[in-house]
Each structure stands twice: as structure tokens, then as C-alpha cells.
Structure 1
Amino acid sequence: MFSDAEAAELYDLLNPWDPARFPGDAFYADLLTEADSVLDVGCGTGAMLHLARRRGHTGRLMGIDPDRAALDRARHRAGVGDAGIEWVEGTAADCPPRADFELAVMTGHAFQFLVGDEELRASLAAVAAALRVGGRFAFETRHPQARAWEEWNPADAADLTGPGGRELRVWHEVESVTGGVVTFTGTTATPDGTVLRVDRARLRFLEEAALDALLHDAGFTIEARYGDWRRGPVTAASREIVTIARRR
């Protein structure tokens, strides 16, 4: 067996937060530096907010996530300089209303876990309500034209040393692609292929026009749109849709 707590620790190993190494992390780190208060929607294990606090962010920082094990890791990894970060268990639709945040973010393609239209509308409305007028919402979603799901298969398994020094093999496999929704599994196994855990998830791949309509209906205007982490335009070769939206 592979516990939820171990899965949260493994997530950090597979997805280290490091603005010095990863352009996407640097993109968000710059936005956090500019904002006096930040709401991290789908914060996971809290690595981004912890680093922001350690680097001197003195304003209000809040992370919200439905994964209890991830939030437990976020709370217990606190060290010197991490005081005052708020951790809330809940979905994007549970964002606190009238919270007056200057910036809300969804990193790590967390936005794509909002699958149904009603879920998207409720989540965007809640994010807007948590922001002050003029506040910004920054997030990214994989561009459907890149068909990223075609790269998710057992042949691309990652071998690594996991929690407790256990040797692990991790891979993803697509089950179906229907109407812009990709259903896939993530498998954690031993190197010989003995399966320890299988997690199933769905991701929504939205075109720009559909995304912008949802944002407009929720009370946002598009401030900036990029096709890569260096703030280049969206092109026919872009793999990302990076959005900064401002609350009206």
C-alpha cells in the first residue's frame, strides 16, 4: 500500500517548487512579490507559499485545497519564517467571499481539474468574490492543440527514490478523451511493476474562446495572455495558455 501522506510527499519529489530552475515557478514568484495578499487555489503541499514567506513576503498568504493529506504536509513543513500562512480545506468553489485578496493563483495546471461547466462557473465566481475589485487571477491550462495527453503512457515511467527511501516507478496512462475531457490514471509501483496505488483523475482542456467566455461571465477581464512562461504570445505551436485576469 501507498498512503495519502506518502502520495503527498511523492508529489513534492516529482514537482519541486524552484523559481531558479523552472520558468513557470519564476513567473508566479514574480507575481507574488508584487502582491500584498495572495490566495493560492489548489495549493497542494504549500511549497509556493512557504517559499514566498521565507523570501520575505510579509502580507496575507492563504492556501486552499481539498486534499487533506497535502494540507497536513503544508502545515507540518513550516519552519523559520513560515509564520502566519493560513491553510483551508476546500475546493475552489469554497474560496472565502469578500476576502479582499490582491492576487489569486492556480498553479500546476490545477485549473484543469475543474471539469464540468457548473463547477467551472461556481469556482470562478468564488475566486472573483475572494478578490478585491481590480484584483488579479493568474493561472495556466495546457493548450489543447498540443495534445499533451498523448505523452502520458507507461513507456515514459519515472524511476525515483520515494518516501522512506523506497524505490518507485511512477507513470500515467490515458483511459479516454471525450469532449475535451481527458480521463487518466496515475500508477505508483515498485521497480518490478508491483502496483502500490492507482489514482484516477479527469482534466478539462479548454480552447481560448470558451475560457474567456467563462471568465467574462464571472466578472473578469483579460489583462494578459501568454503562450509560454517567458510571456511570449499564444501561437500555433504554444503548449500553454497562461492567463492573468482582472476582477471588474
Structure 2
Amino acid sequence: MRHGEFRHPRLVQVYDAECAWGPDDDFFQAVVDETPAARVLDLGCGTGRLTVALAAAGHTVTGVDPAGASLAAARVRPGGQQVTWIEGTSAVLPDGAFDVAVLTSHVAQYFVDDAEWARTLADLHRALAPGGRLVFDARDPADRRWERWNPVDSPRRIRLPDGDEVRAWTETTGVRDDAVSFTHHYHFADGEELLSSATLRFRTEAQLRDSLGTAGFTVDRIHGGWRREPVGQGDGEFLVIAHASRLAPVA
């Protein structure tokens, strides 16, 4: 199953249990909070962990995601009623409606095709007010994270709210240029095994900067870790903060 942890109700529950609040959430919360009472877009919001927290902090928040099962979990999360939830992609975004847009949990890497990534950035530029900020994370390919996605390094046990435990591990199934394919394996206490596959694009810093510039963004900062370390000295991340600097992207 492609993207099963976002689309399959049972795997959505596992994903939500595995992905607890962490330093990444602290980073995004702090950046968004630099704009008081902001109109915030969380594109690819998933089950809404950060989305709801941003709303609780006093922002007006819209969560957008194409996966209905993830949004169903987000809507019933405590505090979910404070968020506007939309099932869809960046194409549905209204013009000039947001002060800050965030893409978290490496959502930016799911846009494997350059044309799709360019369309998404153009939509985000259109949806942001002049000078509005875009904040997202992507893994630094120099860190070669995919080499640790194997049965030896990736096994984990995930405890669900009902007390059941799920055994999980990840395997890399293909590397072609800067696109990496992988499969998550999930083994449930009742004997069921579910698989979820995906492909991620590992763009370089130069590629990210070029694509943002073409879409009309100016890059303010790129950090290498959740404590805002320089690139290459943090957590193997690109944490990008940019702002909409032109009225429209370059044609």
C-alpha cells in the first residue's frame, strides 16, 4: 500500500502513536510564534499534532491534507474543533489567505517530481500574503539517512493507546539518483502484517534554493538541526525559512 500510514485507518493510529511531540514540533512552533496571532497554513497536516497546538497558541490555523483517514483522526483530536480542516492539496488554497505556511515531517520530500514541487511552491506563494513566510524541513542528502533504513538499524516497538504493541521496521527498496524508495513493515499483536511504501526526494541545498527562488521566495535562513545549528552540524536536516518576495512566481 502506498502511503499507508496516512491512508489506512489502522496504520494512521500507529503513526499517531509513534510520532509524539518532539524537537521538530518545538522548532516549528517557535518559528510560527514569531508572528503573533498569525493566519497559519499547515500543508500535509496529517493527524494534526502540531496543527492543534498552533491553534491553542492563539493562531488561526487551517490544516490541509489529501489523506482522509489522517484528517478523520485530526478532527477528533482534543482541540481539533479550533482548526479548519480541508481534504485536498495545495491546489485548493485561497489566494493571499495566510501569513505563515508550514510543511512538517518532511512532507516536502514527498513531492518527488520537479514539476509537482514547482506547482506546490507556486500555490504556496499564491496563498501567502505579501511577505508571508514559508517554513519546511527536508533531510540533507549528505547525511544519507536511507542507509539506516534496514532491518538491523530500524526496528522499533510502538505502543498503542489500548496497550497493544506493534513491531515495526523499515527497509530501503531502491535508490535512483536522489529519489529513495522504502517500505515500512508493521506487525500487529493479532498477527496482521501491513506494509506501507513510499518514495522521497532528497534535494540538495542548492536545488532547494533554486526552486524557491524560481517560485518567488527569498530564503532567509537554512538550519542544519532543530536547535538551529549550521547545515552539516546538526541533525542531518535542512530547516528552511523563506518569505514571499515577489508578487508572482517566474513563468
Deviations 1:1-39 (A, max 9, x none): x9822211111111112xxxx322111111222331100
Aligned to 2:52: 50
Aligned to 1:39: 41
**What is the CA–CA distance in structure 1 between the aligned matches of 2:125 and 2:213, rounded to whole Å?**
11
Q: Give identity over the alignment, percent.
A: 36
Amino acid at match of 2:130: V
Alpha carbons 1:41, 1:106 under 8 Å: kept: yes
Aligned to 1:13: 17
Aligned to 2:248: none
User: Which of 163, 169, 182 is equivalent to 2:180?
Assistant: 182
> In the superposition, relative to structure 1, how do residues 191 and 154 fare at CA in structure 2: closer, same or farther (>3 Å)?
farther
Aligned to 2:116: 119
Alpha carbons 1:158, 1:169 under 8 Å: kept: yes
How far is the alpha carbon of 1:230 from its aligned partner?
A: 1.4
Unaligned runs of 5+ in 1: none
User: Which of 103, 107, 127 is equivalent to 2:104?
Assistant: 107
**What is the CA–CA distance in structure 2 between the aligned matches of 1:53 and 1:125, rounded to whole Å?**
25
Q: TM-score, length-normalised on structure 1? A: 0.89
Unaligned runs of 5+ in 2: 246-251
Q: TM-score, length-normalised on structure 2? A: 0.88
> In the superposition, relative to structure 1, how do residues 77 and 236 fare at CA in structure 2: closer, same or farther (>3 Å)?
closer
Residues 1:87 and 2:85 aligned together: yes
Aligned to 1:222: 219
Alpha carbons 1:146, 1:237 under 8 Å: kept: no
Deviations 1:82-114 (A, max 9, x none): 4431111112x3241314211000111111001
**What is the CA–CA distance in structure 1 between the aligned matches of 2:64 and 2:114, rounded to whole Å?**
21
How far is the alpha carbon of 1:164 from its aligned partner?
A: 4.1
User: Which of 149, 155, 165 is equivalent to 2:146?
Assistant: 149
Alpha carbons 2:209, 2:219 under 8 Å: kept: yes
Amino acid at match of 2:20: P
**What is the CA–CA distance in structure 1 between the aligned matches of 2:83 and 2:99, rounded to whole Å?**
16
CA RMSD of aligned residues (A): 2.0
> In the superposition, relative to structure 1, how do residues 171 and 191 fare at CA in structure 2: closer, same or farther (>3 Å)?
farther
**What is the CA–CA distance in structure 2 between the aligned matches of 1:97 and 1:86, rounded to whole Å?**
13
Residues 1:71 and 2:75 aligned together: no
**What is the CA–CA distance in structure 2 between the aligned matches of 1:117 and 1:195, rounded to whole Å?**
37
Alpha carbons 1:187, 1:195 under 8 Å: kept: no
Alpha carbons 2:225, 2:233 under 8 Å: kept: no
Structure 1 segments, 4+ long, off by >6 Å, are: none
Alpha carbons 1:95, 1:130 under 8 Å: kept: no
Aligned to 2:62: 62
**What is the CA–CA distance in structure 2 between the aligned matches of 1:9 and 1:119, rounded to whole Å?**
28
